[in-house]
Amino acid sequence: MFKFIHTADLHIDSPLRGLEQYEGAPDIQMATRQAFTELVDLALEEEVAFVLIAGDIYDGDWKDFSTGFFYISQIQRLNQKGIRVFQISGNHDAQSIMTKDLPLPKLTKQFSTRKPETEIIEDLKVAIHGQGFATKSVQENLAENFPHSQSGYFNIGLLHTSLVGGYQGHDNYAPCSLEDLKSKGYDYWALGHIHKREELCQDPWVVFPGNIQGRHIHESGPKGCTLIEVDQQSIIKIEHHDLDQIRWQTLQVKLDQVNSLEEAVDRFSEACQSYLKDAPAIPYALRVELIGETPFHSKLNALQSTLENFIRINASEVSDGAIWIEKVRLNTHPPKKELSTDPETPTGQIQLLLKEILNSPEELEAIKAELSPLLKKIDVELKKVPDHQDWPSEEDLKLYLDRAHDYLLHELKEASNSSGEAS
Ligand SMILES: [Mn+2]
Residue 355 C-alpha to ligand 1 middle, in angstroms?
38
Cis upstream peptide for 204 (omega within 30°): yes
Instruction: Work out the end-to-end distance of the chain between its first and last CA atoms, rounded to an integer number of angstroms.
Output: 87
The full DSSP string for 3-32 is: EEEEE----BTPPP-S-TTSTT----TTHH
Residue 194 C-alpha to ligand 1 middle, in angstroms?
6
Residue 216 C-alpha to ligand 1 middle, in angstroms?
13
Residue 117 C-alpha to ligand 1 middle, in angstroms?
22
For the chain, domain boundaries: 2-242, 247-422
CA–CA distances in Å: residue 159 to residues 11, 112, 311, 332: 16, 12, 44, 44
Residue 51 C-alpha to ligand 1 middle, in angstroms?
18
Residue 57 C-alpha to ligand 1 middle, in angstroms?
8
Residue 90 C-alpha to ligand 1 middle, in angstroms?
7
* pLDDT value of position 353: 87
Residue 161 C-alpha to ligand 1 middle, in angstroms?
10
Query: Would you say how long the chain is, in residues?
Result: 423
Residue 215 C-alpha to ligand 1 middle, in angstroms?
11
Residue 275 C-alpha to ligand 1 middle, in angstroms?
29
Taking the CB of residue 269, how many other CB atoms lie within 10 A of it? 17
Residue 288 C-alpha to ligand 1 middle, in angstroms?
26
Check: pTM over 0.85? Answer yes or no: no
CA 12 from chain center: how many Å?
Answer: 15
- Please say whether the beta carbons of 109 and 84 come within 8 A: yes
Q: 297 in helix, strand or coil?
A: helix
Residue 261 C-alpha to ligand 1 middle, in angstroms?
41
Residue 323 C-alpha to ligand 1 middle, in angstroms?
26
CA 317 from chain center: how many Å?
Answer: 27
240-251: b or e for each residue (b if 16 or more CB lie within 10 Å)? bbbbbbbbbbeb
Residue 274 C-alpha to ligand 1 middle, in angstroms?
32
Identify the bridge partners of residue 278 per DSSP, sorted by sequence position.
none
The full DSSP string for 120-140 is: EEGGGTEEEEE---SSS---S
- Please say whether the beta carbons of 185 and 171 come within 8 A: no
| CA proximity to 356, closest of 345, 369, 343 | 343
Residue 9 C-alpha to ligand 1 middle, in angstroms?
4
Residue 55 C-alpha to ligand 1 middle, in angstroms?
7
Residue 73 C-alpha to ligand 1 middle, in angstroms?
22
* pLDDT value of position 151: 96
| CA proximity to 92, closest of 246, 215, 6 | 215
Taking the CB of residue 422, how many other CB atoms lie within 10 A of it? 6
- Please say whether the beta carbons of 130 and 174 come within 8 A: no
Residue 139 C-alpha to ligand 1 middle, in angstroms?
16
Q: Look up the CATH architecture of domain 2-242.
A: 4-Layer Sandwich (3.60)
Residue 347 C-alpha to ligand 1 middle, in angstroms?
48
Residue-by-residue pLDDT tens, the chain, 423 positions: 999 999 999 999 998 887 766 666 666 778 999 999 999 999 999 999 999 999 999 999 998 999 999 999 999 999 999 999 999 999 999 999 999 889 999 999 999 999 999 999 999 999 999 999 999 999 999 999 999 999 999 999 999 999 987 787 788 899 999 999 999 999 999 999 999 999 999 999 999 999 999 999 999 999 999 999 999 999 999 999 999 999 999 999 999 999 999 999 999 999 999 999 989 999 999 999 999 999 898 889 889 999 999 999 999 999 988 899 999 999 998 887 666 778 888 878 888 888 888 888 888 888 888 887 777 676 555 555 555 566 677 777 887 887 787 778 777 777 766 664 433
- Please say whether the beta carbons of 221 and 242 come within 8 A: no
Residue type, 287: R
Residue 294 C-alpha to ligand 1 middle, in angstroms?
41
Residue 136 C-alpha to ligand 1 middle, in angstroms?
11
Residue 170 C-alpha to ligand 1 middle, in angstroms?
8
d(CA 241, CA 5): 10
